[in-house]
Amino acid sequence: MQILVQSKTIIDGLCNETISKFIKAHLKEDVKTLALATKKYPNINLQVISSLISVLQKAEIKLPEHYKKLGAFNQKSFEQSTSEAVANYKASIMSLDNKTIINLTGGIGIDDWAMAKHASKIDSCEIDPDIHAMAEYNLSLFNIKNVNRHLCDGIEYIKTHEAVDILYIDPDRRPTSAKVFKIDDCEPDVLKHWPLLIKKAKHIWLKLSPMADISYVLKLFPNTTELYVIAWLGEVKEILICCSDTPCSEVKKVAINIGSKNVWRFEEPKTSKSLPFSHTGQYIYEPNKAIIKAGLSAHYASHCQLNMIATNSHFFIADFLVPNFYGRSFIILERLAYKPKVIKVYLKLNNIAKANITTRNFKESADELKTRFRLKDGGETYLCFTMDQQEQSWLYHCHQIF
C-alpha cells in the first residue's frame, strides 16, 4: 500500500543532511526490507523514507537528472509527470526560443524544467499545493531563474494576464483519480475556455492523452497546425498538438520514438503511393506504435516499399529485410492457414509450448489464442495472427530480428 506523504515532509527530509545521506546510501536497496529495519535505524522514519526511496528508484530511468539531485516527488506527481527525455524533445520542436510562455497546468514542473532551457520567461500555474511546493523545490535544485510558479488556477490567472507568445496546457486526465480520455471531461475544460485561450496567445500547445482518437482531436481543434504522436522506449506517451489563432487546411503529422540511445521521427509525406496487397513473403513488419497511432502505417510502409497484408492490418510483408526499420521486424519460419486442429499439431511437432502472440485485424484476442492453444507467454517464438484482404486468416510463425 502506497504511503501518502505530504510535500513538506518530503522537502524537509531532503533538506536534512542526515536524511539525504541516508537516502543516497540506500537508493539501491529493497524498500520493503528497508521499511522493516526500524530497530536498526530508530531515528529515521522508515515508512516515509522508504516510500520516497521507492519513487526515486523509479525516477532513475524516467527522470535521471532529477534522480541525481534527489528531486522531490510523491507517487501521484511521479506517475503524472512527463519523462525528461520526452520533455526535452518537445521543448526542442515547439519553437520556444526567447518566447514568453504561460503553462496553465504546471504539475511537478518537468515541462517547465525543459522549456526553461529555451524560453525567455515562463509563468506556470498549479492548483495542488503539495505538487506546487515540490515543483518549486525541484526547480531550485537546477537554479532555474526564468520560471515563476503560481499556486492558482491557470484559467483564472490568464484572465487578468497580458497576452504571451505561447500557452502550454496539459489537461488533467485524472480529476477524480480515474483515467479520463474524453477531452471535454478533462480539467481545465479547454473547449469551454477556447475563446479566452485564443485571445491570450497566437499559439497553443496541448498535451493530450495517448488514448485520444486522432480524427476526433482534429475535428475538435480545426486550428491545429502540427500534431505529434510521441513514444518513449516504444510506448506512446502523449499526443502533442499546436493550434494557431486561425483555421488550418493542412496539418503536419509526425510520429516520434525516443529511444535510450537515439530518436527517430517519421513525417506524413505530401504524396504516397498505394500499396500492393500480398500475404506471402520472407519478412513481416509491424510499425512502431507511434506510427500506428498517428495513422501513418501505410505511408511508412510505402516509404519502405513493403506490401500490405490487408487494409485494416498493421502488418506488412516483403521478401527483403529493411535495415533500421521503425518498429518490429520478423523473419517468417512458416505460414499456416488458420485451422486450429492443424495448428495444434504443428505446435506439438515443433515443441512450441511458449510463445509471444501478436494479433492484428484478427477475430480472436491474444489471450483467447493462448487459451485455445494452451500456450505460455514469452520465449523467442513469435506467432502473428492476422487476416488478409480476402479475409483469409493466417498464422505466421516467426523469430524477431533485432
pLDDT per position as a tens digit, 20-68: 999 999 999 999 899 888 888 888 888 888 989 999 999 999 999 999 9
Average pLDDT of the segment spanning 66-74: 95
Cell readout for 339 is 485451422
Average pLDDT of the segment spanning 191-196: 95
DSSP 114-170: HHTTT-SEEEEEES-HHHHHHHHHHHHHTT--SEEEEES-HHHHHHTSPPEEEEEE-
CA nearest neighbour of 21 among 44, 5, 47: 44
| Residue 1 banded pLDDT, cuts 50, 70, 90 | very low
pLDDT per position as a tens digit, 275-303: 999 999 999 999 999 999 999 999 999 99
The domain 81-267 is placed in CATH, from the list 3.40.50.1820, 3.30.360.10, 3.30.1340.30, 3.40.50.150, at 3.40.50.150
Return the domain boundaries, the chain.
Answer: 7-79, 81-267, 283-401
Contact indicator for 369, 352 with CB cutoff of 8 Å: no
Average pLDDT of the segment spanning 308-316: 95
The whole-number pLDDT of residue 176 equals 56
pLDDT for residue 6 is more than 90: no
* Strands 201-208, 235-244: pairing kind: antiparallel
* Strands 252-258, 283-287: pairing kind: unpaired
Contact indicator for 58, 80 with CB cutoff of 8 Å: no
| CA–CA dist 54, 35 (Å, integer) | 11
* Residue 276: how many other CB atoms lie within 10 Å: 9
> What is the spatial order of strands in the sheet that 316-318 belongs to?
307-308, 316-318, 283-287, 327-337, 393-401, 376-387, 354-360
The whole-number pLDDT of residue 177 equals 43
* Residue 100: how many other CB atoms lie within 10 Å: 17
| Residue 79 banded pLDDT, cuts 50, 70, 90 | very high
pLDDT for residue 4 is more than 80: no
The whole-number pLDDT of residue 192 equals 94
The whole-number pLDDT of residue 88 equals 98
